[in-house]
Amino acid sequence: MTIEFSKKLTATETPIPGVVLYDLPVHGDNRGWFKENWQREKMVALGLPDFSPVQNNISFNEKAGTTRGIHAEPWDKFISVATGRIFGAWVDLRAGDSFGAVFTTELDPSQAIFIPRGVGNAFQTLEDTTAYTYLVNDHWSADAQGQYTFLNLADETAAIEWPIPLAEAELSDKDKAHPRLADVTPMALKKILVLGADGQLGKALRAAYFGEANVEFAARADFDLTAEKSYIGRNWKNYSTIVNAAAYTAVDTAETPEGRKAAWAINVTAVANLAKVAAIHGITLVHISSDYVFDGSKEIHTEDEALTPLGIYGQTKAAGDAIVATVPRHYIVRTSWVIGDGGNFVRTMASLAGRGIEPSVVDDQVGRLSFTEDIAAGIRHLLDVNAEHGVYNLSNDGDPQSWADIAADVYELTGHSRDAVTGVSTAEYFEGKQAAPRPLNSSLDLDKIKATGFAPATVGQRLAEYLDEGANT
């Protein structure tokens, strides 16, 4: 066996999505050779997923021609050769457009390959005493074995050109009996779990993911955030993402003893439980934040602004943000002034306009509406493009407005006079009422999420559409 020494560490994409071939630097002299078979920092910098391996397996093969596979397993693998040489064959057995795609190559100790969950793996030894080694990011178990997907080594559709004909190779009886591609049930994608699926944002996420078989929606009755059994009664290994669209949002009630207890239970304790699950199982956690984590002293809020909450609700949301930020794979999506399918400010103003009521509306709180349609689309976008993890502001676009400005727009769009709305200060509006403190400036800077390729619609566009839809329902 001849090994090419001192190659540069490089990554090469293959025809199978997510399958990446690596050249490894091997250093040799008269004593033999040395290589860094797995070097997390360097390989992650090259684009290898930080897949957190937990087990190292070695397959020793005494004779050339030993052939194993094609097995698709419910975990990711990083494969290399310790000694000898192999012909490797990989077939995409995941549900999706790339099902059936094939890639083959020869591997010696100077190469390695990353194989995502659900891609069938097979190899044929080309030299005696070959050791084939692989890191995996889940522990083998009998239950996991039941999730394997198999393809016959001789499948005519894959048409793998084995260097040593299968009739002359060493195969197991099990591998000989695996099905042809036409009879293979594709491995299902890992699931996305949407919590709070009965709320305004949850309903919008149902619409955004309508018809997607790998998205599971859990309403309050399906997943009680405050119940321990919710976190332990589920096989989390089958999930890629949790979208936490559930929250305690009664801003003023949070200032009461009972409200404070409930707010902390749902916005903090439950979030800590979700974060623990996500961290342990390598799940991406999407968490919805709020403009209430700021005191409103700045005219526009960027993602890196220090948290300065005023009231109990804001404090619980800030605490939840801090917890989620410790999860290796996380998106904190910060919104303001949410409008969706349910009771909200816009519907209240439209109702008042229709009844001929002339309201007094706060005119010293400034921000932008966030329609749930766009929040849901933004969340999906971040996941679909695999955006860098972290905090993203997400509201609708356009010039910031006061609540009074928005109320006047609602009146005008519903055929009533803007002059029916009278502006008052926050202090005047809440005089004599028990109310939580509110940030006066809630405008969120949108540059970061726009840089990922997502462009939220303007408030004006969405408001007109929302009111038009309401008039026709």
Cα–Cα distance for residue pair 142/160, rounded to 1 Å = 30
- Residue type present at position 373: E
Cβ atoms within 10 Å, residue 471 = 12
Strands 191-195 and 119-125: unpaired
Distances (CA, A) of 277 to 236, 244, 274, 329: 8, 13, 5, 12
Any idea which residue has 């491995």 for tokens? 187
Backbone CA torsion sign across 274, 278, 284, 289? positive
**Active-site annotation holds for 71:** yes
Partners of 23 in the β-ladder: 10, 111
Q: How far apart are the first and last CA of the chain?
A: 74
21 is written with which tokens?
A: 């071939």
CB 55 within 8 Å of CB 135: yes
Given 71, 330, 381, 416, the catalytic residue? 71
State phi, psi for 441 to the nearest 5 degrees: -115, 120
- Residue type present at position 414: T
Given 134, 209, 411, 466, the catalytic residue? 134
Task: Count the helices and strands in the chain (H runs, E runs).
Answer: 14, 25
**Active-site annotation holds for 22:** no
Residues tagged active-site:
71, 134
